[in-house]
Amino acid sequence: MADFTPDEMMTIAAARALSNDDVCFVGIGAPSAACNVARLTHAPDITLIYESGTIATAPSVLPLSIGDGELCETALTTVSVPEMFRYWLQGGRISIGFLGAAQLDPFGNINTTVIGDYAHPKTRLPGGGGAPEIASSCGEVFITMKQTKRGMVKAIDFFTSFGHGKGGSDRQDLGITTKGPTLLVTDMAVWRPNPQTKEFEVNSIHPGASREAIAASCDWDVVYAADVGETPPPTELELSTLRAIKARTAAAHRRNAA
């Protein structure tokens, strides 16, 4: 087995969670890489949808944004953004929403709006885009992000996308009928919410990571599931697929910049 990086392990572990039958609303960045690795390996019939209205897209390179022409050129069809949100998303036709986060709390609530006070921020982030609707209307939500203490925090500075709120039945009590966050994949571990409390628990630890390293890179008190194993390392196929699409992407961006 070839050596692999924590980022590669994160992307591949996230890709494995997707199935051939999923209809997946894809976020840009790490979620896009994971979804396309799944499409190119074990889930060739997965339907990938991006916020710009591209349906069943099959990009050969990873998009820079939802407006990347690669998405439209390789899509089965492209619909208007209002149709995408009203008919597809809010109509309950999308099984998985795959999101990233700038800040995340233990209950899967996401901040991509602002760090610090909203009126006088330390950092102004890109904002929610369609993520708040994705978080509430997709059947379930997967999250992927690198672990840092400033990213995985006890309390987020702004609620951009609602996860499980304060935990327990908070989501259902507010009338949201979808499952919410059911998976968090970081560069160190795979996390899933506790069935009762809805607080994320470590389910498996990636090769090379440790409980000490996980605790040192997370601001909340880490909870472990009853049976914590080791995440299976990437296979040769998974690793070569990820590296190939990354290489094609880098080459395409160099050509476009020339």
Is residue 13, in this structure, part of any structural domain at all? yes
The one catalytic residue among 8, 51, 70, 133: 51
What integer pLDDT is reported at residue 70 of this predicted model? Answer: 86
Average pLDDT over residues 137-151: 97
Identify the weakest region by mean pLDDT among 123-127, 172-176, 194-198, 224-228. 123-127
pLDDT tens per residue across span 49-73: 998 899 999 999 998 888 888 899 9
Is residue 85, in this structure, part of any structural domain at all? yes
Q: What is the CATH number of the domain that holds 174?
A: 3.40.1080.10
Could you tell me the residue range of the domain that residue 123 belongs to? 6-257
- The DSSP annotation for 178-237 comes to S--EEEEE-SSEEEEE-TTT--EEEEEE-TT--HHHHHHT-SS---EEEEEEEPPPPPHH
| Higher-pLDDT residue of 27, 73 | 73
Using CA atoms, how far apart are residues 253 and 42, in angstroms rounded to an integer?
27
Number of domains in the chain: 1
Is residue 108, in this structure, part of any structural domain at all? yes
Known active-site residue 51: yes
pLDDT band at 258 (very low <50, low <70, confident <90, very high): low
Is residue 17, in this structure, part of any structural domain at all? yes
What integer pLDDT is reported at residue 134 of this predicted model? Answer: 94
Is residue 136, in this structure, part of any structural domain at all? yes
Is residue 141, in this structure, part of any structural domain at all? yes
Is residue 1, in this structure, part of any structural domain at all? no
Report percent pLDDT > 90 for the chain: 89
The pair phi, psi for residue 252, each rounded to 5°, is -65, -40
C-alpha dist (Å) from residue 164 to 75, 107, 139, 220: 33, 5, 14, 16
Q: Find the helix or strand (DSSP H, E) in which 26 lies.
A: strand 23-26
